[in-house]
Amino acid sequence: MKRIIILSLLLGTLSTATLQAQTVLEKAQKAGKALDVLPIGDVAQTANSILSVLKPKLSLTETQSPKVLGVVTDFLQAKSGIVSEAKTDPAGYTSKFSGIKEKLMSGLKTAVTAAQFKSLLGLKPKTSSAGNVLSHLFF
């Protein structure tokens, strides 16, 4: 009888350890999952496409448009250098992207008014989508 109880306890302990190990493994796999980042083919064309969306939505002036285009172009050039890391090193990409994005946002804050910047943040898509060129700015 003692052997049955001890064996039951041992099996219960081992099954719990196995379940915990699977949970840790699943978390590691999700953390290492490649990020959904759109490739940037032509930086200039992509920047112009982004500007063509932002100009009417933010009511950019003729003075603001070239500044916004310059900031966005610089951002896309920097981002294009790290896009490949989204699949090979998601954590490294995220770290580098946050620095690049911070520079983009500070540049845009100086190029547009506070109200326009708030409107820009409201344009952020929920997910990265090839159908929304603004995904390049946020993901």
Per the domain annotation, does 37 fall within a domain? no
What pLDDT, on a 0 to 100 scale, did the predictor assign at position 37? 84
Does 132 lie in the same domain as 111?
yes
Residue 20 — very low, low, confident or very high, per pLDDT cuts 50/70/90? low
Domain range spanning residue 13?
1-31
Q: Are residues 132 and 68 in the same domain?
A: yes
pLDDT score at 26:
53
Q: What's the pLDDT band for 34 if we cut at 50, 70, 90?
A: low
- Distance, in Å, from the CA atom of 97 to the CA atom of 103, rounded to the nearest integer, reads 10
pLDDT in tens, 76-92: 999 999 999 988 999 99
| Total number of domains in the chain | 2
> Please, what is the Cα angle at 131 between 110 and 48, to 5 degrees?
40
The verdict on 4 and 26 lying in the same domain is yes
Packed helices 114-122 and 43-58: angle between N→C axes, nearest 10 degrees:
110
What pTM was estimated for this model as a whole? 0.73
- Whether residues 57 and 5 fall in one domain: no
Do residues 78 and 21 both lie within one domain?
no
Q: CB–CB of 43/77 below 8 Å?
A: yes
> Do residues 11 and 72 both lie within one domain?
no
**22, 114 in Cβ contact below 8 A?**
no
pLDDT in tens, 64-74: 999 999 999 99
Mean pLDDT, residues 41-63 taken together: 96
36, part of any domain: no
55: which residues sit within 8 A by CB, 6+ positions away? Answer: 65
